[in-house]
Structure 1
Amino acid sequence: MNISATPRFATEPSPGDRVIILGVAESDAHVVANKLIEYELSLSGFRVINLGACTPVEEFVDAFQSHPYADAMVIGSLNGHAYEDLKSIRDAKKDLLISCPIIVGGNLGVTRDQAARTKEELLSIGVDYVLDDAAALPLLLHQLPRRNTVVAPPERGIS
């Protein structure tokens, strides 16, 4: 049995963990899809930090500051207000308060044209990926580079 002499805090990931910060945009109370996505991601091997519904950008920033090793941030929005809710993401990314990839998905508009326009607006403020199919999320997350890899110090030889 290999026991580490260095204690780890409960909020630190294990070396193999892929950590995802999940939440629903500020003006959106649709929590059912959020819980289903959390469940699916957990089954897919991710450690999910779920902020729940009605999450302002400041809470996403705080979550990333508390978990800077997170591999990605996933934000859902089903009410068509994603762009308005997430405008300040641009400043958070510019100021390096969030440096992991940001993925937004959900119902981004009533019409296809509105959804396409919202997708472009989200990409323009620093969202890295916009998904219209939640089933594509686990595959995308597995394809992202790992951010929380632990590099062991080199072994010292005996001189």
Structure 2
Amino acid sequence: MKGYGQDVWNYAYFLTKRADWADDISQEAFLKVFRSPNGFRGESSIQTWLFAITRNCAFNYRRTAFIRKVIPVGRVERQGLSPSAEAEALSNRFVDEIWEVVMELPAKYRELLVLDAKYEMTLQEMAELTGLAIGTVKSRLSRARRKAAEAWKGGSVYERA
């Protein structure tokens, strides 16, 4: 949990857009790992394995609840020091704007963009985690980047390309 706890929570948050759900999902993911300590077979990295468990927990959690509306997005906590209050304020504003754009993307694009940008997963790792073909991962990631760029420039992320 020390090494991957924040990453697991962040991933659950990106999947659900809800901090309270991310708390429950990340806790459930680590409980599954604790209950089955020999579950890691070494076929992927530990992070990919934990994300797969987290993803399954998130989908199970979402099946039992209904997401009917857009949930306001707050800023995801970041660790680090800023050189000045002004620099921190400008940086936070920029980061908030980027995360708002990312969180507005449809889930199938948002997930891959986060796995790529935040967790630096390879296409193969993303394909294994999501159960998608590598070609599908590549095309969705490309569309996610394009939609994020369009949204950043003022367009809607829901417009069809």
Q: Is the shorter-chain TM-score for this pair beyond 0.5, marking a shared fold?
A: no
What TM-score, normalized by structure 1, do the two folds share?
A: 0.27
Which structure has the bigger radius of gyration?
1
What TM-score, normalized by structure 2, do the two folds share?
A: 0.27
